[in-house]
Amino acid sequence: MRAEITEGMRWIFRDPTLRALAIATTLLAASTGMLLAVLVLHVVSTLRASESSYGLLFTLYAGGGLVISTVVARAHSQWGTRRCLVSSASLGALSLLIVALGRR
């Protein structure tokens, strides 16, 4: 099993496109994990929201992902990959900025 994992990793890191995709995916997963770990502290401590409010916020976060997943194919066909990725990153950053600047 270890030899197969090593072979797979070598294969991925030899291809520049797969290497970039693997690194970007790893960084995105790590940063999302860090964000979600700190978000609960920010919402409950800094914004002084209740735990149930955080639960509602997280439910809306997940629901937004489901809603977007229904329209992403149409947006991709109309706008293309580049514009969709830039729009997605921009909206994500804006939503986090709104939460970060929120005050109670």
The full set of domain ranges for the chain reads 2-101
Name residue 57's amino acid. L
Q: For residue 62, how far is the Cα from the chain centroid? A: 11
Q: Is the pLDDT of residue 104 over 70?
A: no
Question: What is the arithmetic mean of pLDDT over 63-81?
Answer: 90
pLDDT bracket for residue 64 (50, 70, 90) = confident
pTM of the model: 0.64
C-alpha distances out from residue 91 to 5, 39, 48, Å: 36, 17, 25
Q: In the chain, which ranges are E strands?
A: none
